[in-house]
Amino acid sequence: MDKRTKIFAVILGCSIVLLIFLVLFYLGVLRPRSFGSPQQCSFYPAGFTCVVFKLYTNGSLYLTLGQGLGKKINITGFNCTKDIDVITKNKTVLFDSMGKSILFPSGMAVAIADPSDSNRYVTCTDETGKTLTGELDSLYEGKFYINYTELETNNTKLIVGSIRAKYEV
């Protein structure tokens, strides 16, 4: 191969790689927002598991929890917020616009928040309590606070969880 042919082959190869990169970027595969932090939902202490969680662009939350404490409990309060000082501010953790408790047997999964159920409609909020709406695929990071009562002992407890979720439709 002469020098011209080698230069042409290099330029052609680079052009093909660039074209593939641009097509993948256009299709959304290589957009920076698709590389963002992975979605996660977790609780401390152990005993609660996020089975399904979705955050909608209007700020409403769908959350199904699994419970493996070995005890039947009654959830009496739930909050999803960016306010990390809920406990230190001595705020009462209440259901967001519902006020109804949820019986939760051990070993079961229960929908704690469900936008299609007016008794379990919960929104995730900012530090001031204002519902945070979001654009599709933008990220929300906040905390869950759950009050519950162990039915056998009548002990009340508070658990804290964290959520990192993309807004969806």
Q: Nearest Cα to 56, choosing from 80, 35, 34? A: 80
Is residue 63 within 8 Å of residue 111, measured between CB atoms? yes
- What confidence score (pLDDT) does residue 97 get? 43
> In whole angstroms, what is the distance from residue 37 CA to residue 76 CA?
31
Name the E strands within 12-106.
40-44, 48-56, 61-67, 73-81, 102-104
**What CATH architecture applies to the domain 37-168?**
Sandwich (2.60)
pTM: 0.71
Could you tell me how many residues make up the chain?
A: 169
Query: According to the model, what pLDDT value does residue 49 have?
Result: 92
In the prediction, which pLDDT does 8 show? 85
Q: What is the pLDDT along the chain (169 residues), one digit of tens a residue?
A: 788 888 888 888 888 877 786 666 666 566 554 455 578 999 887 899 999 999 999 999 999 999 999 999 999 888 898 887 666 554 555 554 445 788 999 999 999 889 998 888 889 998 888 888 999 989 999 998 888 899 999 998 888 899 999 999 8
Q: What are the residue boundaries of the structural domains of the chain, listed by start?
A: 3-32, 37-168
Distance CA 12, CA 32 (A): 27
The reported pLDDT for the residue numbered 36 is 53
Alpha-helical (H) ranges within the chain are 3-26
Euclidean distance between CA atoms 44 and 4, whole angstroms: 65
The number of CA neighbours under 13 Å toward the Cβ of 20 is: 6
